[in-house]
A and B are shown apart, each in its own frame.
Chain A
Amino acid sequence: MHIHRCRFVEYTPTAIHALAFTPLSTQPLLACGRANGEIEIWNPTQRWNLEKIIPGAKNTSVEALTWVHRTIIKESDSCYSQTKEEQEEFLNALLNKPPRLFSASSNGLITEWDTKLLRSKSSTNSHGGAVWCMSTNHANTLLAVGCDDGGLRIFDIIDDGLILIKNLIRNDAKVMALAWDNDDKFIVSGSSDSNIIKWDIHNARIMQRMTVDMKHGKDNIVWSIKILKDGTIVSGDSLGHVCFWDGKHGTMLQKFKAHNADVLCLASNKEGTMVFSSGVDRKCNLFRIADYFTTQSSNDDFNENHWVLVGFRRTHLHDVKAMALREDLIDKFFVSGGVDASILVSYFDGFPEDKLQRLPFIPQKPLISISKSKKLLMYRSYNQIKLWRLGNAKLPDSWKLEQIPNLDLIEPQQAILEMTLKGNYHLTASALSEDGEWIAVSDIETVKIFKVQNDPSNPDRICVKKVKFPKILVNGSSAGAHHLMFTLDGKKLVIVNIDSSIIITELDNSQHKEVKILHQFYEHAQPLDGNTSIITSIAVSSDSRWLAVGDLLNRINVYNLETFELHSTLPKFSSTNTALAFYPTKPTLVITLSSNEFFLYDIESQKLDDWSLTYSKSLPKTFLNLENRLVGCTFNPINSDAIILWGANYLCLIDFDKCRKEKGHQPHLATCTGWRENSKYKAIEQAPKQNGLTKKRKRDKTEKNIKRAKTDKKIINFQLVFRYRSLMYVDFIEPNTMIVVERPFAAILENLPPSFYKAQYGS
């Protein structure tokens, strides 16, 4: 088998600046804000499924994130509810509302996000320059932001935005951190001039000022503040100290020189018995209360909380900027993220030794589309489209089965198109038609379709021509798409609107002038039990007859693209679907779930495939418990009875034929370096060399399967391959020729500035 091992796609995730869990009153979700303004929404209950990505925009960043979910009735609500029944009804309605997501940016805007349409709902100016920190009060009625000008601004959260109600000004230094008192009467803020200020909100005045240590007279920035249940204030500053202050008197209780550099984030549990801290030195420290009063004193007043530094763990590879903690789920855990762009989930139990989970940093929806027949590969970055023609390798004269030869490229891959799109927003979707003639891209505002033409002046290059496309309007404003997909015959383009309606358009190859809208499906835009959701995956069958669409509410519909009818609705699966794919040869749909289960659905008979009925509920445990979820599914055209499922770090070949041969046979899993098949294997690796100016030169590698599966009597039908890491895309371009797009983590780290901490002897 030929494998194109591509490493030339320079995908670079950006630093994580903020992490926030939804309040305990709603379903658990994690919002992760990045430096380029992108906000990801992860679902920890669905095995850390990345559900949504709110695209970023130009000149924004996410400095702080807050979920707001109000569970109490404000005085101003009394007009809606006078009687008790009305009040209860109103409260229930409040509880059933999804939480609202606010983000604060360094451009001074506080934005509320529409988590359905994945775009901003409203923006409010902070009136104080860049916003560095933001927090709601415990009642979720007020939002306090700390600004660059040293002011603390308090907004009332109303149904359609924010109203500034208080402005607490202290013009000395930036407000870097703030925390609400447990009774929502005070705010404790940390500023960049070594002070911790306690504000009385009602009277808008300073109540207390605590000063942290300064070194050489230089200001010490208080990066992070937390208030515990008993009122103790915890602060983390740029000297690496974690200080515990008495909340009432403002005296320092304990100070730990726990970090070698800035403490950027703190997290505490609800009971206030555990505090985590992390920062520039990459350490994550845990502090706990030890019940401490000495046996000599029977006096109970002496019984004070004594904090103990339990230990630390250094798991991130660069500065840690944000932490968030959630303890109401089965496992208590906290997440942390920073400049190394990946989220780490650490569990309380046994910290700092035990469990740890690294969420994949590579996109969970491929940014890559290919044209199989033309051997084209298209990559979408946040504002660019890049197109390559894949290279060719010289076949070796004779196959040596014992080793994996590296093949020389006789023709390197060639970047043939690089297109930077105008527009303020980052791209959300892109598609390349199978014949390579059409390119469709979209941000949240517009969908753009380009016709690819050969450049008459330069035969190696191609040029594109924009095709007119009617504006799609959602709620009165121009809207883009969440997904784009061409049918394989290149005649139709499927557009998934941001409001989850699906538009089928016809492409006219002869005219290239205008694109006609053929039909529009609204099934997914309909709310289900009052909830609407976004479409997560679409698939088109190879005969361009069927379109399968799945959304976050687990609705999967199959449409007939010839008659424009809803063909069937699949039964609901237990967990969210992550990918859909059609068999190339038969009308069977493969559905992968976030639980790593997968099902085969026969569209014509409208029921689960025989194999799936027998085996889908008894998949091997190792496969189900793989750390990373399934991302995609692909088929080797030569072997119609096998599928290849892939996740961020693995490929798995599943052979259905072998299962059928032996009745009652339980699926058996084996891990190997390559797949055993009768055909020969080779791989072509395409990677940019690290040295020199010719960055896009290729290094070739051909490989063959060297490890033969064990010849024991068990028939191995699940073959796991961990050879390829950080997979961005896997597909077959022709029989026995696979394309694997990798983005090694080391390559991303190389582009980062050097980290503060360097490992030395013994660590």
Chain B
Amino acid sequence: MSPMDTNGFRQLVFDGRQAALHPESQALKISRVVGGCLSSRPIIFSLDSKYFFCSCSNKIKVISVTTGEVVKTIFDSSGNCHNDEITCMMLNPNDPQQLLSGSLDGTIKVWKYSDVELLKKYEFGIPIYRMVILASYPDRFFVVTGIPCKNASCRGKQKAQALLYFRFDKKDQPEMHLLCKSKSMCTGLVTSPDGEFLIISFLRTIRIIKIKLNQQKGQKWPKYTHSSNISCIAIHPSKPYISIGDEYGKITHMYCLKESQIQDPVKSSVHWHPHKVNSLAFTSDGTYLLSGGKESVLVIWQIETGHTQFLPRLGSEIRSVTISPDQTLYAINLLDNSIKILSAINLEIKQAVQGLKHAQVDASIYPLSTGLVIEPRNHLVVLNGLPGTIQFYNPHSDRHVMEHEVSQRTMISRAFEKDIVYPNVNHVSFSSNGNWMATVDSREDGETTPELYLKFWKFDPNSQTYVLNARIDNPHSKAVVSLNFHPGTNDTSLSVVTTGLDNKFKVWKINSESHASQVFKDSVSWMCKFVGSYRQYTPRATAFSQDGSILSVAYDSIITLWDSRSNVLRDVLTLLPNYEFIRHLAFTNNSPFLVVTTQNFLYVWNLLTCTIWWSYRIEAHHLAVDSKSTRFIIASNSEKLQECRLFVFEPQTAIPVMVHTVKDIVKAIAYFPRKFDEVSSPSNAFQSYIIYLNQNYDMLMIGENFVEKVH
């Protein structure tokens, strides 16, 4: 070990801000990108209805309808991809083998999707929210853009948007006209099937624009004001009306596409949805209208008769509805980040593509509090799903494996104006062999009694799910801060430690003593065996050492070390300066080091000497420890630069093994074990993937392929 200072510990403070320039820092390679926000934008079917295109931040996934597999990803890092989120896609009306994608980076790109080839790129220089191109006028675009906002206050929902007309000449130089603008968001842009009209809707207004080659200046297009906030519009494929969905769930058919009715359009409304209509779609023969909204019910309106057919219990709010060109498939984008392909005949689900469910959950109410937890049995990633559930996700195959309802609930859309507050899963922890899972879920809406449950689940090999074994109501009188399984024990002597804001930590033990009663012979139960606290400090984090002998509980800026068998306080490590509270606490694998992060520092304690081995000035947002090697990783986000630096350390030395900057905000990070078949060369046998989740809910896997160069 290194020599000690006279002070008793070796003071080594590195400034992490210069670490990027460190000569030994290594670049990491992103080996796989999975997950992503699949259902936030409407999908597009290919003309033969065999594939559909699904935009996923700046990539486009081509997914097969029959298998549900991602066939191609229109994305490459050679600079051809969009630099910002893709907002709209459409097939080129003149060549259905070409796909157009518009993005917030101000470009529209034309792809030949069969071999992922960029054919053409149109530079607009303004963020594109919606686009329309007509078959008869190639190189002419109708584009909805957001008027740039100077101050931050206008960045709310009320974004000013405008409709522009672009015409590109042979040198690709654009000629631009402003068609109309509004102080509110554009809610829909459609063209009439004969290409005569362009209909744009904003929050309250609808404008009909007659498309002609030579537009006269100062021409007044009719403008209609709707009585409530518009959420979506659709145009009937043959009859001269448009359908408007609004925030109260009403669908209004407005007959405004004929000269005789422009002045005083006839309106007819139908009302089934109690809440906002999110999407409307006409079948191309015009006999049916599909609508969906918050109720998770697909409503199929037979337009002539007003007869309605329902497909209820779709699981989550419907974001958009798309009908395939051959009319046999309905695609529904749901708020739980899934796309469901239904057969139009019997409304059975033919295919479902499920992403990370938390992707479209409002993270300000239901934060991603579990982080990324690796399930030890099958090495699945476990994280928050929809409120009240956790999701098991397989990053290798990019497939959703299982949704587990921690707190069961009935799917109801809200009954009154206020949204229903659902329980949120705060913590998930697994026993080392994966036979047991512990969860903490809570619900507090500010009106009713707060709910807080600690639940123990046992794996049931028959159903391959976790079955509730015990529920402890209010394990702590205040919110639970951490939940940890004791690592190194077998199923008969499991223990779990929880800490709460009530300044206590509690040790829960399994009680599998055989009962006298025959009924409870095989049953096991959980009991609180120990309640500990330290000077009324608030616990911040807990960690077990790898062998399970030491339990470490961090209080404010004090680390207490307890004998996990006898629950006796062994040592107290005090951190200086003590005005910074501890954020993360972890024992490194196979080495006697304890990693502690505060707001601005990273400390590594040597437990043999009970001294700070080294420290490092860094704002650590996330910490993950590799279970296969001694390494650990620190993620430091920079909101300003919209990037994150990842530092991989060996605990012995303050010099990072690798430093990597990713152009993402890391929301959660974990080490993910490799599959056994991947462990081909012995050199990386014990190297895990680093897996992290960015702001777009892409799950990125980083393989350390250049390990040999270090050391």
Contact (Cβ within 8 A) B238 A289 = no
Question: Given the complex of chains A and B, what is the CA–CA distance between A633 and B415 in angstroms?
Answer: 48
Query: Does B240 lie at the interface of the complex (its beta carbon under 8 Å from any beta carbon of A)?
Result: yes
Query: Which one, B193, B194, B255, B258, contacts A308 given CB within 8 A?
Result: B255
Contact (Cβ within 8 A) A310 B255 = no
Question: Given the complex of chains A and B, what is the CA–CA distance between A309 and B193 in angstroms?
Answer: 25
Nearest A-chain residue to B286, judged by Cβ: A294
In the complex with contacts A291-B261, A353-B227, A762-B274, A296-B238 CB distance below 8 A = yes
Residues of A within 8 A of B679 (CB): none
Question: Given the complex of chains A and B, what is the CA–CA distance between A311 and B269 in angstroms?
Answer: 6
Residues 212-242 of B, flagged 1 when their CB comes within 8 A of A and 0 if not, give: 0000000000000001000000000011110
Q: Shortest CB–CB separation between residue B263 and chain A, in angstroms?
A: 12
Question: Given the complex of chains A and B, what is the CA–CA distance between A356 and B194 in angstroms?
Answer: 41
Nearest B-chain residue to A762, judged by Cβ: B274
In the complex, which residues 233-274 of chain B have their Cβ closer than 8 Å to any Cβ of chain A? 238-241, 253, 255, 258, 260-261, 266-269, 274
Query: Which one, A296, A311, A353, contacts B268 given CB within 8 A?
Result: A311
Query: Does A545 lie at the interface of the complex (its beta carbon under 8 Å from any beta carbon of B)?
Result: no
Query: Does A290 lie at the interface of the complex (its beta carbon under 8 Å from any beta carbon of B)?
Result: yes
Contact (Cβ within 8 A) B266 A290 = yes
Question: Given the complex of chains A and B, what is the CA–CA distance between A232 and B255 in angstroms?
Answer: 21
Contact (Cβ within 8 A) B238 A291 = no
Q: Shortest CB–CB separation between residue B88 and chain A, in angstroms?
A: 26
Q: Shortest CB–CB separation between residue B46 and chain A, in angstroms?
A: 27
Query: Does A288 lie at the interface of the complex (its beta carbon under 8 Å from any beta carbon of B)?
Result: yes
Residues of A within 8 A of B241 (CB): 290
Contact (Cβ within 8 A) B267 A311 = yes
Contact (Cβ within 8 A) B266 A289 = yes
Query: Does A292 lie at the interface of the complex (its beta carbon under 8 Å from any beta carbon of B)?
Result: yes
Contact (Cβ within 8 A) B240 A291 = yes
Query: Does A82 lie at the interface of the complex (its beta carbon under 8 Å from any beta carbon of B)?
Result: no
Query: Does A295 lie at the interface of the complex (its beta carbon under 8 Å from any beta carbon of B)?
Result: yes
Contact (Cβ within 8 A) B227 A290 = no
Residues 694-716 of A, flagged 1 when their CB comes within 8 A of B and 0 if not, give: 00000000000000000000000
Q: Shortest CB–CB separation between residue B270 and chain A, in angstroms?
A: 9
In the complex with contacts A308-B255, A310-B266, A292-B239 CB distance below 8 A = yes
Contact (Cβ within 8 A) B238 A308 = no
In the complex, which residues 255-305 of chain B have their Cβ closer than 8 Å to any Cβ of chain A? 255, 258, 260-261, 266-269, 274
Q: Shortest CB–CB separation between residue B254 and chain A, in angstroms?
A: 10
Query: Which one, A288, A291, A296, A762, contacts B260 given CB within 8 A?
Result: A291
Contact (Cβ within 8 A) A292 B269 = no
Contact (Cβ within 8 A) B238 A310 = no
Residues of A within 8 A of B260 (CB): 291
Contact (Cβ within 8 A) A295 B194 = yes
Residues of A within 8 A of B268 (CB): 288, 290, 308-311
Contact (Cβ within 8 A) A288 B238 = no
Query: Which one, A291, A294, A295, A311, contacts B255 given CB within 8 A?
Result: A291
Question: Given the complex of chains A and B, what is the CA–CA distance between A280 and B366 in angstroms?
Answer: 49
Residues of B within 8 A of A292 (CB): 239-240, 255
Contact (Cβ within 8 A) A295 B266 = no
Question: Given the complex of chains A and B, what is the CA–CA distance between A413 and B184 in angstroms?
Answer: 63
Question: Given the complex of chains A and B, what is the CA–CA distance between A292 and B286 in angstroms?
Answer: 13
In the complex, which residues 268-305 of chain A have their Cβ closer than 8 Å to any Cβ of chain B? 288-292, 294-296
Instruction: Number of A interface residues at 8 Å Cβ cutoff, please give it.
Output: 15
Residues of B within 8 A of A294 (CB): 238-239
Nearest B-chain residue to A353, judged by Cβ: B227
Residues of B within 8 A of A350 (CB): 227
Nearest A-chain residue to B305, judged by Cβ: A257
Question: Given the complex of chains A and B, what is the CA–CA distance between A296 and B238 in angstroms?
Answer: 8
Residues of B within 8 A of A311 (CB): 267-269
Query: Which one, B194, B240, B269, contacts A310 given CB within 8 A?
Result: B269
Question: Given the complex of chains A and B, what is the CA–CA distance between A291 and B263 in angstroms?
Answer: 13
Question: Given the complex of chains A and B, what is the CA–CA distance between A291 and B241 in angstroms?
Answer: 10
In the complex with contacts A308-B268, A310-B267, A311-B269, A290-B274 CB distance below 8 A = no
In the complex, which residues 510-526 of chain B have their Cβ closer than 8 Å to any Cβ of chain A? none
Nearest A-chain residue to B255, judged by Cβ: A290
Residues of B within 8 A of A291 (CB): 240, 255, 258, 260-261
Question: Given the complex of chains A and B, what is the CA–CA distance between A353 and B267 in angstroms?
Answer: 12
Residues of A within 8 A of B238 (CB): 294-296
Nearest A-chain residue to B415, judged by Cβ: A761
Nearest B-chain residue to A288, judged by Cβ: B266
Residues of A within 8 A of B193 (CB): 295
Q: Shortest CB–CB separation between residue B284 and chain A, in angstroms?
A: 13
Residues 652-673 of A, flagged 1 when their CB comes within 8 A of B and 0 if not, give: 0000000000000000000000
Q: Shortest CB–CB separation between residue A308 and chain B, in angstroms?
A: 4
Which of B193, B240, B253, B266 has the most chain A CB atoms closer than 10 A to its own CB? Answer: B266
Q: Shortest CB–CB separation between residue A211 and chain B, in angstroms?
A: 21
Q: Shortest CB–CB separation between residue A268 and chain B, in angstroms?
A: 15
Question: Given the complex of chains A and B, what is the CA–CA distance between A288 and B268 in angstroms?
Answer: 9
Question: Given the complex of chains A and B, what is the CA–CA distance between A289 and B253 in angstroms?
Answer: 13
Q: Shortest CB–CB separation between residue B54 and chain A, in angstroms?
A: 33
Question: Given the complex of chains A and B, what is the CA–CA distance between A223 and B402 in angstroms?
Answer: 61
Residues of A within 8 A of B239 (CB): 292, 294
Residues of A within 8 A of B255 (CB): 290-292, 308
Question: Given the complex of chains A and B, what is the CA–CA distance between A295 and B193 in angstroms?
Answer: 10
Question: Given the complex of chains A and B, what is the CA–CA distance between A211 and B267 in angstroms?
Answer: 30
Which of A292, A295, A350, A762 has the most chain B CB atoms closer than 10 A to its own CB? Answer: A295
Q: Shortest CB–CB separation between residue B301 and chain A, in angstroms?
A: 13
Q: Shortest CB–CB separation between residue A352 and chain B, in angstroms?
A: 9
Question: Given the complex of chains A and B, what is the CA–CA distance between A434 and B335 in angstroms?
Answer: 77
Q: Shortest CB–CB separation between residue A284 and chain B, in angstroms?
A: 14
Question: Given the complex of chains A and B, what is the CA–CA distance between A288 and B194 in angstroms?
Answer: 25
Question: Given the complex of chains A and B, what is the CA–CA distance between A310 and B267 in angstroms?
Answer: 5
Question: Given the complex of chains A and B, what is the CA–CA distance between A477 and B269 in angstroms?
Answer: 59
Residues of A within 8 A of B258 (CB): 291
Question: Given the complex of chains A and B, what is the CA–CA distance between A371 and B268 in angstroms?
Answer: 57
Q: Shortest CB–CB separation between residue A294 and chain B, in angstroms?
A: 5
Q: Shortest CB–CB separation between residue B588 and chain A, in angstroms?
A: 59
Q: Shortest CB–CB separation between residue A353 and chain B, in angstroms?
A: 6
Contact (Cβ within 8 A) A308 B261 = no
Question: Given the complex of chains A and B, what is the CA–CA distance between A103 and B253 in angstroms?
Answer: 42
Q: Shortest CB–CB separation between residue A456 and chain B, in angstroms?
A: 67
Residues of A within 8 A of B194 (CB): 295
Residues of B within 8 A of A290 (CB): 241, 255, 261, 266, 268
Q: Shortest CB–CB separation between residue B417 and chain A, in angstroms?
A: 14
Q: Shortest CB–CB separation between residue A269 and chain B, in angstroms?
A: 12
Q: Shortest CB–CB separation between residue A373 and chain B, in angstroms?
A: 56
Residues of B within 8 A of A310 (CB): 266-269
Q: Shortest CB–CB separation between residue B268 and chain A, in angstroms?
A: 4
Contact (Cβ within 8 A) A295 B267 = no
Nearest B-chain residue to A294, judged by Cβ: B238
Residues 349-370 of A, flagged 1 when their CB comes within 8 A of B and 0 if not, give: 0100100000000000000000
Nearest A-chain residue to B304, judged by Cβ: A254
Nearest A-chain residue to B256, judged by Cβ: A290
Q: Shortest CB–CB separation between residue A433 and chain B, in angstroms?
A: 57
Q: Shortest CB–CB separation between residue B566 and chain A, in angstroms?
A: 60
Contact (Cβ within 8 A) A308 B274 = no
Q: Shortest CB–CB separation between residue A267 and chain B, in angstroms?
A: 17
Q: Shortest CB–CB separation between residue B260 and chain A, in angstroms?
A: 5
Question: Given the complex of chains A and B, what is the CA–CA distance between A337 and B499 in angstroms?
Answer: 70
Question: Given the complex of chains A and B, what is the CA–CA distance between A762 and B239 in angstroms?
Answer: 31
Q: Shortest CB–CB separation between residue B549 and chain A, in angstroms?
A: 60
Q: Shortest CB–CB separation between residue B149 and chain A, in angstroms?
A: 34
Contact (Cβ within 8 A) B253 A308 = yes
- Residues on B lying within 8 angstroms of A by beta carbon are 193-194, 227, 238-241, 253, 255, 258, 260-261, 266-269, 274
Q: Could you pull out 10 A-B pairs where Cβ atoms are within 8 angstroms?
A: A290-B255, A290-B261, A294-B238, A295-B193, A295-B194, A309-B268, A310-B266, A311-B268, A311-B269, A353-B227
Extra 6 A-B pairs, beta carbons < 8 Å, given A295-B238, A311-B267: A292-B240, A294-B239, A295-B193, A310-B267, A350-B227, A762-B274
User: Which 9 interchain pairs have the tightest Cβ spacing?
Assistant: A290-B255, A308-B268, A288-B266, A290-B266, A291-B258, A291-B260, A311-B269, A294-B238, A310-B268
